[in-house]
């Protein structure tokens, strides 16, 4: 069963999950680790949930160290604040929350650039 989830090791490394472990025990895949922000933890969970039957196969204990913000998002080409809000806050209309959290970097909610690191506020 653990082979089904092997790709999570690479994702965990990409996300910077520290002390990542994955082992099979008690009939489940036990996943553990620590992220800096909830954003990385949530992205790992999203990947877990893409596997059919995960509810009965996985027990995960992935904890975020910081809770003051949801995380940091690096802007990719073609993204907008509303698209980023939809991805990370589940609501495109919360784009102004992201803008307000980044007023030190952004002059307008309509002007962001690839490579910018934006603070994502808590949900």
Q: Are residues 24 and 58 in the same domain?
A: yes
The residue behind tokens 């698209």 is: 83
Range of 80's domain? 71-120
Instruction: Kindly state whether residues 46 and 77 are assigned to the same domain.
Output: no
Q: Note the pLDDT of residue 38.
A: 96
Question: What is the mean pLDDT of the segment spanning 68-92?
Answer: 97
Q: What is the pTM of this model?
A: 0.88
Residues 49 and 22 both lie in one domain = yes
Cα angle vertex 66, ends 44, 122, to 5°? Answer: 75
pLDDT in tens, 31-78: 999 999 999 999 999 999 999 999 999 999 999 999 999 999 999 999
Mark whether 83 and 46 lie in a shared domain. Answer: no
pLDDT value, residue 34: 98
Q: How far is CA 53 from CA 46, 58, 82, 87, in A?
A: 14, 9, 32, 23
Round the average pLDDT of the chain to a whole number and report it. 97
């Amino acid at each position: 069963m653990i082979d089904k989830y092997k790709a999570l090791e690479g994702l965990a490394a990409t996300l910077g999950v520290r002390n990542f472990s994955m082992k099979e025990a008690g009939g489940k895949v036990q996943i553990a680790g620590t992220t800096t922000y909830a954003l990385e933890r949530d992205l790992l969970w999203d990947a877990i949930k893409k596997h059919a039957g995960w509810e009965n196969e996985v027990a995960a204990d992935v904890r975020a160290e910081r809770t003051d913000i949801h995380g940091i998002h690096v802007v990719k080409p073609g993204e907008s604040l509303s698209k980023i809000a939809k991805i990370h806050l589940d609501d495109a209309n919360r784009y102004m929350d992201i803008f307000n959290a980044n007023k030190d970097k952004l002059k307008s909610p309509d002007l962001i650039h690839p490579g910018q690191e934006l603070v994502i506020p808590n949900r």
